[in-house]
Amino acid sequence: MSGLVRDKEARFVWDLEKGARVLDPAAVRLVPDTSSGLIDTKLHLAAAFRATPTTTRRPLTLGRAAIDDLTFVNAG
């Protein structure tokens, strides 16, 4: 499936995400992050970033350091 999101083309590979489904934006309930300094949101985003496979063969870098694949992220 492909589509446009904010003038950017996106492609979704449904075979890779068995539980994926299209959501109705009007039915989504947003929950405010009440943690100090939005730490819960930051931790969630960091975990999601590390769990997402890259779409390029180049190493991911953050600032001047390459991001290592952490063994505990892939355990299980």
> DSSP state, 53?
P
Q: Identify the band that residue 64 occupies on the pLDDT scale cut at 50, 70 and 90.
A: low
Whether the model pTM is above 0.75: no
Identify which has the larger pLDDT, 4 or 51: 51
Looking at residue 21, what is its pLDDT? 83
Pairwise CA distance, residues 54 & 67, whole Å: 11
Q: Which long-range contacts (CB under 8 A, 24 or more apart) does 13-16 make?
A: none
Mean pLDDT of the chain: 76
| DSSP one-letter string for 2-43 | EEEETTEEEE--TTT-TT-----GGG-------SGGGHHHHH
pLDDT digits (tens, 9 = 90+) for 24-61: 999 999 999 999 999 999 999 888 888 877 777 776 66
| Spatial distance between the Cα atoms of 74 and 50, rounded to a whole number of angstroms | 10
